[in-house]
Homo-oligomer: A and B are copies of this chain.
Amino acid sequence: MTLTGSMLIGQHAVSGNREAIRAINPATHTPLEPAYHGGSGEHVEQACALAWAAFDTYRETSLEARATFLESIADHIEALGDALIERAVAETGLPPLRIQGERGRTCGQLRTFARTVRAGEWLDVRVDTAQPARQPLPRADLRQRHVPLGPVAVFGASNFPLAFSVAGGDTASALAAGCPVIVKAHGAHPGTSELVGRAVAQAVNACGLPPGVFSLLYGSGREVGIALVTDARIKAVGFTGSRSGGLALTQAAQARPEPIPVYAEMSSINPVLLFPAALQARAPALAQGFVTSLTQGAGQFCTNTGLVIATAGDALDRFVSAASAQLQECAAQTMLTPGIFNAYATGVAALAEHAQIAAQGLAATGPNQGQAHLFITQADAFLANEQLQVEVFGAASLLVVCADDEQVRQVCEHLEGQLTATLHLDEADLASAKALLPLLERKAGRLLVNGWPTGVEVCDAMVHGGPFPATSDARSTSVGTAGILRFLRPVCYQDFPDSLLPRALQQANPLQLRRLLDGQREV
């Protein structure tokens, strides 16, 4: 499949007329063809008009038709074969095995949402039947279902060119909810985006859906993004990226005549607490697990371990020694883009001004290679300096050394909202851990015991979210099947004749949904 450098407005390949974006192979620091010219406000207008025209049809597709569409997207992505892997590797510097795994995850995610769509629980059907004889007033017949919000703008992420990008979690969940999607591709992997975008457009066509169900735009500046978020026909936004980027979109969305929800996943340093007994029992194993997790994928994960919290003592010293020894052997790794590499270098330099360097990985041997770093600071210093909890995207972590349990608590209370918080503990730590849990539940969307936060399972129970600034909306998750709930709103139908009701609410329950019927859950 030849890359064309075109956007997709529905089924039409359209060339942009703004500055050209070229992917850069970060491993060689060479630009990749073709050029992707950015779109203008006019292209946003066209894509929004098409999405709006598609909305009323698409949102009333049957559960089966919508699920089949999601599966068809997965099939079409798989049919891209090695061309997709090769392009994604070239554009990201990530190894082929990682990209293959991510393709599996992306297609599995689409098929998981197909299952969720078919099960129909997201419709949250509630029926309160009429009580004409009730005193003092009769009760009307009241039925509720959820409907999609409307067309959704999705911003692709740099660090997951497949799983959080054109056909990633935001797109899959919005399409599952019945929302047309307009993706603004991330400029770091435009070719990967074109390939996947064409696979989605082919699935739209193969399933006989209105063309506006999916469009794909490019743009190097703010023009396309802000035009999308402020278009009256866009009703929600999905974003994974930097805090400044997420806040800019959130503010633009709030300033609209009709504000809309923005689901921005922005910033997290993912504290890991090492409890005394665990540290005493297995400092070397913890050190090994920590360094492996920290350096995986050059540390370019939202859930990377940016902060370790532990109490001073011999056991912690052994942890630091072992972790430092291992870290010093770690090769520098190619980062996703020159921009991300530069930001990492800047972030590491800023940390070095305020904390001590415990260990560094091997020096870079090629362009855009990030060198792993472990910093150490004392709890007092951490508590006094907000700069020390700014996320440094990449394989850098800060160990905060506390005097005692109380200081551990103070450090935890001082943290901003997080995607995850991790506890490494043994039997003897259970009471201390239990005492901290209410605090940690307030701080993070996912709590882990004796694991590492990288690796986010796509399943029903996952929460990839958390209090601000981890995300802009702690009530939601951007990974897992509950992600569909972000793009829905309830509508109640009062005294509707059966023939006017949507099928989900008809008395005979033709979709076989587990309704909440007169206060009782149907089996």
- Which residues does A use to contact B, with CB under 8 Å? 56, 59-60, 101, 115, 119, 121, 124, 126-128, 136-137, 139-140, 142-144, 147, 149-150, 250, 254, 258-259, 261, 417, 430, 433-434, 437-439, 441-442, 444-451, 455, 457, 459-463, 465, 467-469, 472-477, 482, 488-497, 499-500, 514, 516, 519, 521, 523
Contacts and interface: CB of A to CB of B under 8 A. Distances in A.
A494 B463 CA distance: 10
Contact of A490 (B115, B259, B465): B465
B521 A121 contact: yes
Most chain B CB atoms below 10 A, which of A467, A494, A496: A494
A460 B258 contact: no
Contact of A447 (B59, B446, B492): B492
17 contacts: A60-B438, A121-B516, A126-B460, A128-B461, A140-B448, A140-B457, A142-B459, A143-B461, A258-B468, A261-B473, A441-B491, A448-B494, A448-B495, A449-B496, A463-B490, A476-B490, A482-B490
Given A60-B438, A461-B128, A451 B258 contact: no
A348 B446 CA distance: 53
A475 B488 contact: yes
Nearest to A150: B442
Given A142-B462, A475-B488, A441 B147 contact: yes
Nearest to A490: B463
A144 B489 contact: no
Contact of A489 (B433, B459, B475): B475
A297 to B, nearest CB: 14
A481 to B, nearest CB: 8
B261 A490 contact: no
B449 A127 contact: no
Contact of A128 (B121, B437, B457): B457
A48 to B, nearest CB: 15
Given A56-B439, A115-B519, A437-B500, 14 more contacts: A126-B461, A137-B455, A139-B457, A142-B462, A144-B482, A149-B474, A250-B259, A259-B472, A430-B497, A446-B493, A448-B495, A461-B492, A461-B516, A475-B490
A261 B476 CA distance: 12
A128 B261 CA distance: 29
B261 A491 contact: no
Contacts of A128: 457, 459-462
A140 B127 CA distance: 37
How many copies make up the complex? 2
B460 A519 contact: yes
A171 to B, nearest CB: 19
A457 B499 contact: no
Nearest to A468: B258
B142 A457 contact: yes
A467 B258 contact: yes
Contacts of A474: 149, 489
A446 B482 contact: no
B447 A482 contact: no
A451 B523 contact: no
Most chain B CB atoms below 10 A, which of A136, A147, A457, A476: A457
A449 B497 contact: yes
B463 A495 contact: no
Contacts of A488: 475
Contact of A140 (B119, B451, B465): B451
A179 to B, nearest CB: 12
Contacts of A437: 500
A258 B128 CA distance: 38
Contacts of A259: 250, 468, 472
Nearest to A145: B461
Given A457-B140, A461-B127, A445 B60 contact: no
Given A254-B254, A500-B430, A492 B463 contact: yes
Contacts of A417: 258
